[in-house]
Structure 1
Amino acid sequence: MPRSKIELRHVRYIIAAAESGSFRRAAQDLGVEQSAISRRIRDVEDEIGAQLFRRHPAGVDLTDIGKQFLNQAAPGARQIGSALDGARTVANRGRHLRIGVFGPLTMGFLSELFGAFRGDRPGVKLRFSEGSCPELIAAVRRGQLDVGVVAEASPGKGFDVTHLWAEPVYAALPDGDPLADQKALRWDDLRDRHFVVTDLPTGDFAKGYLMRNLQTSPGDLQIEQLSVTRESLMQIVAHGDGVTIAGSAHVRHGVPGITFRLIEDAVLRYGAVHPRGALNRNLERLLALAKSFSERDDAWFARQRLMRPEHRRVPHVDCHRGARGRTPDRLQ
């Protein structure tokens, strides 16, 4: 038996013509030319060897054969249409990107990156969540996040990292602290200081980072973990109740009462963890924009107090004392 050339659109055209009683009105309803309706219906009539419609000046009516054909074909066509609608609904749920971020959206060039993406893809919603680096990587691996922005982490087999930027680590000191007179600090200068960090994921990371770099026995470390926001933590430091470490975002914006000092050879590298291989188009576009930001010239990175991701050493940075401006520490 020769293969039929009848397609789903042929049946759709027949249903529309039967319901409207007119090829012209069917064409208007479907947004196609009337000649396309006539031609496709004629294709079906030629294949079965009989007319489906009676043509008359007022329009068209189904013949008995047309009624029989429609009674058998319409349910299948409608079922396929329903399946397509369901698939579109699921696809439309993908009109968002689930993004996990380790820290505030003011980090690095994230705010500018997400602004550029929204301008390029206004119909795509960005849904943010915050977590620790291990939590974000696990969520990407489980398919709960499309991408995770993490620091100093490897995602493991089957996943990739798009390198974004690197940034120096600073000591945040109260104005008037003896160490504030130095242009840059070494870890040895900070070994006996009382550190305060939050109990947020960024605070957990900061505690581990300090323990690795201070190279002091756990009993000698003075790290106090507080149930406060990052912003409140900075106020605690400004009041002289401890010191902490901070990234470039705080230095760019400044915090009243705090002096930031560069810690020599202390660098954090940030990257976007995502599945390896074929990605959805929206994620591909976000990563392409991120790559374009990461390839900006050194002068732009220096203005942002960042470094291109391939840099390995901290450049010279001048002194930064407290200035007006605050940095939110949680995603809103």
Structure 2
Amino acid sequence: MKSAKPMSHDAYGNGLRLLSYVFAAKEYGSLRQAARELRVRESSVSRNVVKLEQLLQMQLFERDVRGVRLTEAGRAWIDVVRTHYEGLQEAFRDTARGNTDAKTLRIGLCAVAGGGFLKRLFDRFRKSCPDVSLAIEDIPREQCLTAVRRRRFDIVFAPGLGKVMSCRAEMFWQERVFVLVPASHPLAEKRIVTWADLAGMRLLVPVGTSGPLLDFSMLEGMVADGCRPTVKMCQAGQATVIFNVQLGQGVTLAGESFARTVAIDATAWKPLDGHNSLCSIKAFWLETNPKSAVLRLIGLARRMANTIPNPEQSQSARFR
């Protein structure tokens, strides 16, 4: 038996074009209306509908002075073809969107600490890759991995998300944790604080759209027994939590890069010292992502991480 000849790309394109005429005619019940929607001549719609009917050896439409309507056979055929047609349209749109998006690196930020490191990273990337634009957005913690898997983002920077199997994860940077305390609190007079100093205090953790500033899912393991604060999860963002600190309702935490650059009335930032006093920046991405810009950003982050001193090594000199 002679095998069927594979369809060319032009044939696929022509097939989709013929289907577009048929679906428009079915939608509007009029060749004239379909032509107006497709921005072609009515004769072009009529000719291409006939061409598909001849190809299928089936009459799809009944025609009269009022317009066109599907035959019984045409209706059954349309029902079968619709899903495939819509799927092909979506595939072509995704491909076109992907080609357009090739020069854009989509980055998600999930309330990460280490803003200073990320700013330097993005500045250096822009200088080394001026042809690639960065689209940076916030993303809720619970959506991070799904957004990477579904390629909504090319890379996400977030606190630790536990064990990750579905994508690549790598830690690039750590920085000191700072505590924000009310100016009237006794801890405001200390140069540094420890977890023991926070024992029994109310630690306010924002869990609004911006998510927690640090990886508080590990808090129980971070703080020694008998020296842990009382954790209060606040259904609010960072600004509201800071306002509550100003009112004397508790304390909160942030990374050093934020604490060093943001002064807040009626409060004081104090560096946290001792075991588990660092927060980390991790990146999550798919190794199958075809964009070379992803690997360029990761490579640059690795080089920066290797050339900047670890904050753990210099904590004594800086805070004592």
**Structure 2 match to 1:198:** 206
Quick one: distance in 2 between partners of 1:185 and 1:225?
22
Any conservation in 2 of the 1:166–1:270 contact (CA below 8 Å)? Answer: yes
* Structure 1: unaligned runs, 5 residues or longer: 1-83, 299-306, 321-332
**Structure 1 match to 2:267:** 258
Pick closer, same or farther for the CA change 1:241–1:143 going to 2, 3 Å: same
Quick one: distance in 1 between partners of 2:98 and 2:251?
49
Matches within 5 A, 1:39-54: none
Q: CA deviation at 1:178?
A: 1.0
Any conservation in 2 of the 1:196–1:233 contact (CA below 8 Å)? Answer: yes
Quick one: distance in 2 between partners of 1:235 and 1:319?
27
1:130 to 121, 135, 138: 138
Any conservation in 2 of the 1:174–1:259 contact (CA below 8 Å)? Answer: yes
Quick one: distance in 1 between partners of 2:178 and 2:113?
19
What do residues 277-326 of structure 1 show as CA deviations (whole Å, max 9, x unaligned)? 6752111221122223212242xxxxxxxx36xx5x77226569xxxxxx
Pick closer, same or farther for the CA change 1:102–1:286 going to 2, 3 Å: same
Quick one: distance in 1 between partners of 2:160 and 2:235?
24
What do residues 259-278 of structure 1 show as CA deviations (whole Å, max 9, x unaligned)? 22222222222121122367
TM-score normalized by the length of structure 1: 0.56
Any conservation in 2 of the 1:155–1:273 contact (CA below 8 Å)? Answer: no
Q: CA deviation at 1:129?
A: 2.9
Any conservation in 1 of the 2:180–2:251 contact (CA below 8 Å)? Answer: yes
2:302 to 277, 291, 296: 291
2:195 to 182, 187, 200: 187
Matches within 5 A, 1:113-192: 113-153=121-161, 156-157=164-165, 159-192=167-200
Q: CA deviation at 1:113?
A: 1.8
Matches within 5 A, 1:1-332: 90-103=98-111, 107-153=115-161, 156-157=164-165, 159-200=167-208, 201-203=210-212, 207-214=216-223, 222-256=230-264, 257-263=266-272, 264-265=274-275, 266-276=277-287, 279-298=290-309, 307=310, 315-316=315-316, 318=318
Any conservation in 1 of the 2:182–2:251 contact (CA below 8 Å)? Answer: yes
Structure 1 runs, 4 residues or longer, greater than 6 Å off: 86-89
Aligned pairs, number: 224
Quick one: distance in 2 between partners of 1:232 and 1:297?
33
Letter in 2 for 1:261: K
Q: Give the secondary structure class of the aligned counterpart of 1:94.
A: helix
Pick closer, same or farther for the CA change 1:221–1:294 going to 2, 3 Å: closer
What do residues 190-227 of structure 1 show as CA deviations (whole Å, max 9, x unaligned)? 1211222223253385653444434679xx96433334
Any conservation in 2 of the 1:102–1:131 contact (CA below 8 Å)? Answer: yes
* Structure 2: unaligned runs, 5 residues or longer: 1-91
Q: Which has the larger radius of gyration?
A: 1
What do residues 243-270 of structure 1 show as CA deviations (whole Å, max 9, x unaligned)? 1111112221142332222222222221
